[in-house]
C-alpha cells in the first residue's frame, strides 16, 4: 500500500510547515490528485487518519480534489482531456497523444490555527 508512504510524506511536509510558520493545528488539508496518479483515495484517506496521529494534522479533514488527465494530440495540436492514457483524441480521433497532466499529487493548501 503506497498510500501509507504518501501519507508519511504529507506528514513530513505538515511538520516542516508547522515549524516554519508557527502554526499548531491543521483543520483542513486539500490535496490535488491527478487522474493517472494511481492513488487509491479510500486507502489514502485511511492512511492519512492513521499517520497524522500525534501531528498538527491529527483530526484534520482531508479533501481530495480530482484533476483531469490531459494530453497533447500531435494530429490536431490541441491539449485535450482524456479519461485513460490510451484514449484517442476527443477532438479529432487521432491516436498520437502524449500525456501532459494527470499524474500530479500535491498539497493545494491547508487551513491552520
Could you list the residues known to form a binding site for Zn(2+), using ranges: 73, 76, 89, 92
- Binding-site members for Ni(2+) are 2
User: Alpha helix locations (H) across 1-113?
Assistant: 2-21, 41-51
How far is it between the farthest Cα atoms of the chain?
52
- Binding-site members are 2, 73, 76, 89, 92
Q: Is 53 helix (H, G, I), strand (E, B) or coil?
A: coil
Residue found under cell 493545528:
25
Angle, vertex CA 5, rays to CA 46 and CA 14, nearest 5 = 80
Note whether 3 and 11 are within 8 A (CB).
no
Amino acid at each position: 500500500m503506497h498510500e501509507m508512504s504518501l501519507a508519511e510524506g504529507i506528514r513530513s511536509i505538515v511538520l516542516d510547515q508547522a515549524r516554519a510558520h508557527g502554526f499548531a493545528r491543521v483543520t483542513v488539508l486539500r490535496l490535488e490528485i491527478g487522474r493517472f496518479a494511481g492513488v487509491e483515495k479510500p486507502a489514502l484517506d485511511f492512511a492519512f487518519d492513521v499517520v497524522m496521529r500525534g501531528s498538527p494534522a491529527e483530526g484534520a479533514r482531508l479533501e481530495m480534489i480530482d484533476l483531469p488527465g490531459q494530453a497533447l494530440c500531435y494530429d490536431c495540436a490541441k491539449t485535450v482531456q482524456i479519461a485513460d492514457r490510451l484514449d484517442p483524441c476527443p477532438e479529432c480521433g487521432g491516436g498520437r497523444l502524449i500525456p501532459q497532466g494527470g499524474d500530479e499529487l500535491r498539497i493545494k493548501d491547508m487551513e491552520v490555527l
